Amino acid sequence: MDALVKELNQHNYNYYVLAQPTISDFEFDKKLEELMELEKAYPAYQNPDSPTQKVGGEITKEFKTVKHRWPMLSLGNTYSEQDLRDFDERIKKAIGSHFEYVCELKYDGLSMSLTYQDGKLIRAVTRGDGTQGDEVTANIKTIRSIPHRLSGSDYPDNFEIRGEVFMHKQAFERLNKERMENDEVPYANPRNFAAGTVKLQDSSEVAKRPLDCFIYFLYTEQRLFRSHWESLQAIKNWGFNTCEHQKLCSNIDEVLNFIHYWDEKRHQLSYDIDGIVLKVNSYAQQEELGFTAKSPRWAIAYKYKAQEVETILEQVTYQVGRTGAVTPVANLQPVLLAGTTVKRATLHNANEINRLDLYKGDTVLVEKGGEIIPKIIGVNTLKRPENAVKISYPNTCPECGTTLIREEGEVAYYCPNDEGCPPQIVGRIQHFISRKAMNIDGIGAETIEAFYRQGFVKQISDLYTLHEKRTELMRLERFGEKSINNMLAGIEKSKEMPFEKVLFGLGIRFVGETVAKKLASHFHSIEPLMSATLEELTAVDEIGGRIAESLIAYFEEAAHVEQIQLLKSFGLQFESIQKEIILSGNQLEGLNFIISGVFERYSRDELKDLIESYGGKILSSISSKLNYLVAGENMGPSKLEKAQKLNIPIISDEELLKMIGL
């Protein structure tokens, strides 16, 4: 186990820090799987430095505020090259002409302070107000490029190191697409997504979102190096991930050349940058230059202007998603922006169209700064054509003509005709076959569109009758016997997928992957879920009123119930396989419990397993049958109120352990 830990940590270092992997992802995953199996079999020998510890699992009820040992000051910044030359002149007046600059990319992410003691990561704190920030250690430990334990032996016993946590653009696009598919509000840019992720309370959820981190500054009690450049070379050998695009410059002209180079090339990077940071290299000279109240006098940031361009708004079209949300899209005269040809831009919703006061043929200003998807930020009304027609959001669905609705408190309009609106039907079936849902091999999104047009599939259950249409399928272009056999085998195999995957695959509004798991784990089968009341649904961990109302509305539709019955008849799994409970004792026999809130020592699932292993039963809602409510922090007020009305004893996790005798 120790050998595997050492080997896998080295591979992580090779991959994330050196960018020189020596084994394939498949080989790495197999070795990691082997280590996980060994740790499960021999938990007493689990190494705290194991790479398996990067999967998270710790729940943080609230983030502790920690004062920074060295304040996290902001940098002065400018958009002007003349300001940089003026900055250079001030440096020369203060310390003379013999100095160097280190130029670094200015990453668009979240500043983080990491504290190491005896080579181990002991604390991670956000910038906060610069004087103090939130401790987010459990979440930061899930980032693969941040070492839990350092390499080598020449690092100091105690030090602090600063870096930028960020998300790569490709990961942002993938995760944002998933959020939109699950009817969740997408993040505007990778920085916001990274910042939101770092503040999640469940570190296992953080681990699912691929964050990265570049380290850029070292703080120690005693000076180890003479210059910033020297320290950057050293910390890489300790196992830290530093950006390869750094340059040591001997004068301001070299700095400006570096700035111009990355202004052109920045869009080729896998992550966002919004400028260049220059720092005086010598630590002694930094000390001599000192600080203002807000920022160091020895560093400055040059910020690139957001990419903007004018083009013509040709028309606005409307896309209907699988959940019925109608999204306006601006179709533009093609224009080059930030290295790519832009033909479309997001308009978000009806409110945005009204705010911009758009007319067909308008000359619009399009921006692609921190945004991945271009957006319209303004209109040049002086160039508006005569007799231009104002853009107005439609009242009816552009696909099926049904009157659109907008729920109270929401900005999006929806088409309620989910059983008759073509893009909703196609989108729902495409979602069902997707990798995170039923993962059906041999069939893709385009195939579903083709099958719908041909009349082979009109609803999800039709997938399971395709074997009866083999002859007709053979007549379709690009469909040979082998591809049909592969597709039908994939459809048949999908019948083995667990209940949580089927539930997610149904595409119920607001029921994402995590929510589907929670519901499947709580209700165990479809019948009690279908008949659950609002009260019973909101009693489930992390299920709020909006999700509960969506579930009730879904199961009230006869067509949805009919689909579920058909899928059941085809052999799909609508029941969870119950894990066998091994009793450790009978101290809680005959007692019913509900667990609510957040606990320091245990997750709710761990407490649930503990109760069941000592003979207790977990109920789905508060009623007179309940014997105890195990309450943690941030418990819902409605549950507390109902428990008090029914005089149900409210106990802590410590009191529960005493009842068991632990």
Which residues are marked as active site?
106
Contact between 126 and 110 under an 8 Å Cβ cutoff? The reply is: yes
DSSP 249-307: ESSHHHHHHHHHHHHHHGGGSSS-EEEEEEEESBHHHHHHH-B-SSSBTTEEEEEPPPE
Contact between 515 and 525 under an 8 Å Cβ cutoff? The reply is: no
Contact between 510 and 185 under an 8 Å Cβ cutoff? The reply is: no
Report d(CA 332, CA 358) in Å as an integer: 13
* Burial class of 40 by CB neighbour count within 10 A (0 to 12, 13 to 18, 19+): exposed
The 3-state DSSP class for residue 71 equals coil
Which residues, other chains included, contact 228 with Cβ-Cβ below 8 Å and sequence gap of 6+?
102, 217, 279, 280, 281, 282, 283, 286
* Burial class of 132 by CB neighbour count within 10 A (0 to 12, 13 to 18, 19+): middle
Nearest Cα to Cα of residue 143 among 168, 174, 118, 119: 168
Contact between 614 and 586 under an 8 Å Cβ cutoff? The reply is: yes
Report d(CA 122, CA 160) in Å as an integer: 10
Residue that is written with structure tokens 């249409």 in the block: 469
Report d(CA 497, CA 486) in Å as an integer: 17
Separation in Å, CA 472 to CA 391, 430, 456, 459, 475 = 44, 21, 9, 18, 5
Quick count: other Cβ atoms within 10 Å of Cβ 350? 18
Instruction: List phi, psi (to 5°) of 478.
Output: 65, 20
Nearest Cα to Cα of residue 367 among 276, 301, 314, 305: 305
Report d(CA 250, CA 115) in Å as an integer: 32
Report d(CA 17, CA 150) in Å as an integer: 12
| Amino acid letter, 336 | L
Q: Which two tokens stand for residue 51?
A: 């790479």
Nearest Cα to Cα of residue 366 among 357, 375, 358, 356: 375
**Helix (H) or strand (E) segment spanning residue 174:** helix 169-181
Radius of gyration of the chain (CA): 29
- Bridge partners, 168 (sequence order): none
- Residues 88-100, buried b or exposed e (16+ Cβ, 10 A)? beebeeebeeebb
The 3-state DSSP class for residue 221 equals coil
Residue that is written with structure tokens 């080598």 in the block: 152
Nearest Cα to Cα of residue 306 among 188, 213, 212: 188
Strands (E), 281-420: 299-303, 307-320, 325-337, 340-346, 363-368, 375-380, 413-414
